[in-house]
């Protein structure tokens, strides 16, 4: 009877450890998603600024055409040159 009690205690301890590891894993996942969201926000901001600068360059160089937006840059990588 004493052996089954030790086994039960060991199993209970391992289950608590597993629960703690799962909580840590969840926290890490949430932090990663937050970081990705922040990076995507910053990327959109930089693409918008790049498009605005490109429009100014086109204006000063006398290039006719439509205004460039971040979406145009993503769809047409040649604009990045």
Full DSSP string of the chain:
-HHHHHHHHHHHHHHHHHHHHHHHHHHHHHHHHHHHHHHHHHHHHHHHHHHHHHHHHHHHHT--SPPP-HHHHHH-GGGG-
Number of domains in the chain: 1
Q: Which residues of the chain have pLDDT under 70?
A: 1-2, 64-81
The pTM of this model reads 0.58
The range of the structural domain enclosing residue 27 comes to 2-80
Which pLDDT value is given to residue 80?
A: 55
């Amino acid at each position: 009877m004493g052996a089954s009690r030790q086994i039960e205690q060991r199993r209970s301890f391992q289950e608590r450890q597993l629960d703690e590891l799962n909580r840590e894993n969840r926290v890490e996942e949430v932090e990663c998603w937050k970081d990705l969201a922040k990076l995507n926000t910053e990327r959109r901001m930089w693409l918008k600024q790049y498009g605005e600068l490109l429009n100014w360059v086109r204006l000063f160089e006398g290039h006719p055409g439509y205004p460039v937006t971040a979406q145009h840059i993503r769809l047409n990588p040649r604009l990045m040159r």
